[in-house]
Amino acid sequence: MPELHLTTCFYLWQAPCCGKLYVCRLCHDAEENHQMDRFKVREVQCCECQTVQQAQQTCQQCHVQFGEYYCDICHLFDKDKKQYHCQDCGICRIGPKEKYFHCVKCNLCLAQDLRGNHKCVENVSRQNCPVCMEDIHTSRIGAHVLPCGHLLHKTCFDDMVRTGAYRCPLCMHSVWNMEDHWDQIDKEIAQSPMPTEYQGATVKIICNDCQAHCTVPFHVLGMKCSGCVSVCDIYTLGVDRLSGPIFSLFPIICIDYFLCQIADKIN
């Protein structure tokens, strides 16, 4: 019998794939070379009286309760966390249910304050987290919804913020309101005029936040979008999107060196 990882566990799942007993599907998957389909679980063994029986909330022999919450679809036993089974998601969610709604297009449950107040991305929860590349939909880690509509694990978002990253890894859209940051960059640009020979230079950009295509004055610290208040960081935007008279004589491989030279002149 496998070692019990949870002292409060009163049952063992009988894996429908191999017939072995495990505390949970994660313990099974860590030990075996295949995955357990929890939806196909039919029997559990009571840890108090060792009776193997149909999966249910209470032992039919000794009447011990296997879990305060039990889902007969997911075969989830747990403490009461106001869980509910979402038929559209196909899994159980931590509630309470009345604080969440299922967005049909995004295909996941979201907090009620996001109803009509988020950007829909079709089947977004079925994509892996772009930071850790792990599953989001069935993860036990909560998801963070970005303004662009993409999802990250909450822990991955927190790690990203700690490292100073402020753009969605997928579309480069700002992950929060950046107006104060853009104002600071505006002040830095005003205090750092370009060398005389480059002051009339312009560059074509595609704004990461509003997707506007515009031609704006070039500056090594960033280019302000004429369609919104966002400042496009040239390294974030990508040098392959830069165009204009300054760059017509320079191969792409030389542009980073060229920008460093301008920065030295400013400083």
**Predicted confidence (pLDDT) per residue in 96-116, tens digit:** 999 999 999 999 999 999 999
Residues 18-43 have pLDDT tens digits of 999 999 888 999 999 999 999 999 99
Answer whether residue 2 shows pLDDT above 50. no
pLDDT of residue 260: 53
Instruction: For the chain, list the strands marked E by DSSP.
Output: 11-14, 21-22, 43-46, 52-54, 69-71, 76-78, 84-86, 91-93, 100-103, 108-111, 143-145, 151-153, 202-206, 213-217, 223-224, 231-232
All domains of the chain in start order, with CATH: 11-78 (no CATH), 85-162 (3.30.40), 192-266 (no CATH)
Distance CA 216, CA 205 (A): 7
Spatial contact of 23 and 2, defined as CB atoms under 8 Å apart: yes
| Predicted pLDDT of residue 199 | 81
Find all residues with CB under 8 Å of 29, minimum gap 6, and list them. 35, 36
Residue pair 246/234 in contact (Cβ under 8 Å)? The answer is no
Q: Round to whole Å and give the CA distance between 51 and 39.
A: 21
**Model confidence pTM above 0.85:** no
Banded model confidence at residue 225, pLDDT cuts 50, 70, 90 = confident
Average pLDDT over residues 43-53: 95
Pick from 73-82, 175-184, 220-229 the range whose average pLDDT is largest.
73-82
pLDDT in the model for residue 233 = 55
pLDDT at residue 238 in the model: 36
The band of 140, judged by pLDDT with boundaries at 50, 70 and 90, is confident
Q: What pLDDT does residue 5 have? A: 41
What is the three-class DSSP state of 45? strand
Q: What's the whole-number mean pLDDT along residues 5-12?
A: 67
* Whether 152 contacts 146, CB under 8 Å: yes
pLDDT for position 138: 87
More confident residue, 240 or 46: 46
